[in-house]
Structure 1
Amino acid sequence: MPSASSVTFRFAAPSDANAIRAIEFEAGQRFASVGLTGIADAPPMDIERVENKIAAREIIVAVDADADADATRVGFVMFEPQPTRIYIQELDVLTSHAGCRIGAALIEQVAQHALDRQLTQLILSTYREVPWNAPYYRRLGFRDIEPADLDAHLIERRDAHIARGLDESKRVFMRRDLA
């Protein structure tokens, strides 16, 4: 188990691309335990997408200085800045590092990035009942957005999820207002 002081955070570099994909794939395996085998069986993101997000400075990685040289990157958050908020697209932490508050710290990194850009909210979409999804985000200060309160951008994102085969009846959009 890493110590809190051994994990640092930074914007992803081009050399992090394959590690990010490996973290995503490994973290996705947890979904098989809650019957979401489609996520567990999914391949990782395309390398070009990861490289583009890295170039745009839209991925922050968690690095464990105590881990061996091949496993230093232990988590990441990928996000999309929008005019008044940041949309969190993905948050993954290796299961070997789960429970160490790395995910919470990654969210705080994005919150600080948003505040630095004078953005007022974090938004995400996640599974309503998966313990490390909506219940976890609620503990981090996010609250559900009612379907009637979705703006045009979030409705478009929901429609894209449906087009990809996600069951939106099991998902929820959430927001956290920033001070």
Structure 2
Amino acid sequence: MRIRPATAAELPALQDIERAAGALFRALGMPEIADDEPPALDVLERYRAAGRCWVAVDERDHPAAYLVAEPVDGALHIEQVSVHPRAARRGVGRELLAYAADRAREEGLTALTLTTFAEVPWNAP
């Protein structure tokens, strides 16, 4: 998959990706995560306008995953990374993280940070 900056027109699709990815948490006994609303369009637009909203796109150039991040204390903090279940288990999330790491280096940031659920199987790698 190719990674590129998200466009403003794609932001609603990112919300759809978030909902689809979040639904998988229900089977893990985490319905509150499954029911959590995705970031609002104005929030996603702030990341996009700042140049920190990236999408992994399929062969038709449609987003299949996204990542938003912001600098915090000299590091690039990953606020959200979501992969649509249709694109899951193919290393897309890993590619997005590597892309973010490259952007962080270009900006002189020294690390990536992320908070996540350690017990979620797809987060383990």
Query: What's the TM-score, normalizing by structure 2?
Result: 0.94
Tell me, in whole angstroms, the C-alpha distance in 1 between the residues paired with 2:63 and 2:91.
Answer: 15
Tell me, in whole angstroms, the C-alpha distance in 2 between the residues paired with 1:56 and 1:112.
Answer: 16
- The Cα shift of 1:43 comes to 2.1
Q: Give the match for residue 24 of structure 2.
A: 30
Q: Give the match for residue 100 of structure 1.
A: 90
Q: Give the match for residue 123 of structure 1.
A: 113
Correspondence 1:20 to 2:25: no
Identity %: 31
- The Cα shift of 1:83 comes to 4.2
The runs of 4+ residues in structure 1 deviating greater than 2 Å are none
- The Cα shift of 1:76 comes to 0.4
- The Cα shift of 1:12 comes to 1.1
Q: Give the match for residue 4 of structure 1.
A: none
The CA RMSD measured in Å over matched residues stands at: 1.3
SS at match of 2:76: strand
Tell me, in whole angstroms, the C-alpha distance in 1 between the residues paired with 2:106 and 2:86.
Answer: 31
What code does the residue aligned with 1:107 have? L
SS at match of 2:80: strand
Structure 1 residue runs of 5 or longer lacking an equivalent are 1-6, 137-179
Q: Give the match for residue 52 of structure 2.
A: 58
Query: What's the TM-score, normalizing by structure 1?
Result: 0.66
Structure possessing the higher radius of gyration over alpha carbons: 1
- The Cα shift of 1:56 comes to 1.1
Structure 2 residue runs of 5 or longer lacking an equivalent are none
Q: Identify which of 61, 68, 72 aligns with 1:82.
A: 72
**Higher RCO, Cα 8 Å, sep 6+:** 2
